[in-house]
Amino acid sequence: QQQVKQSPQSLIVQKGGIPIINCAYENTAFDYFPWYQQFPGKGPALLIAIRPDVSEKKEGRFTISFNKSAKQFSLHIMDSQPGDSATYFCAAMRGTSYGKLTFGQGTILTVHP
């Protein structure tokens, strides 16, 4: 019940495409859902995060869509660029578990020029 399931494992798009990465969770106590971007040899870096009181959040080219009833959330990257090629992790956290992020398996995104 603590798991966060992420798909797909890998994704290849052309420059300008809109990759979509999906995550699903079971634990309804989760109330914070961040997405992290990780480049090889680096630590995860926070991209964007959402709380369940909104259905969508947009920051620059990155958008999170959140479906509370389906317990799913997704990351959309608009106008993707080769520099977006990285591993993306969704995560979830309960408000009472300070800092205990449960991560998805990760999606390796490749954006071809």
Partner 1 sequence: EPEVTQTPSHQVTQMGQEVILRCVPISNHLYFYWYRQILGQKVEFLVSFYNNEISEKSEIFDDQFSVERPDGSNFTLKIRSTKLEDSAMYFCASSRAGTAEAFFGQGTRLTVV
Binding site for partner 1 (CB under 8 A): 32, 34, 36, 41-46, 49, 89, 91, 93, 95, 97-106
- Closest approach, Cβ 3 to partner 1, in A, equals 10
- Closest approach, Cβ 43 to partner 1, in A, equals 4
C-beta closer to partner 1: residue 17 or 105: 105
Give the bridge partners for 89, in sequence order.
36
C-beta closer to partner 1: residue 17 or 85: 85
C-beta closer to partner 1: residue 25 or 36: 36
Cis amide prior to 8 (ω within 30 degrees): yes
Largest Cα–Cα distance of the chain, in whole Å?
43
- Closest approach, Cβ 59 to partner 1, in A, equals 12
Strands 30-38 and 45-50: antiparallel
Helix/strand/coil for 39: coil
Give the integer Cα–Cα distance in Å for 108 and 86.
6
C-beta closer to partner 1: residue 16 or 60: 60
- Give me the amino acid identity at 7: S
- Closest approach, Cβ 49 to partner 1, in A, equals 6
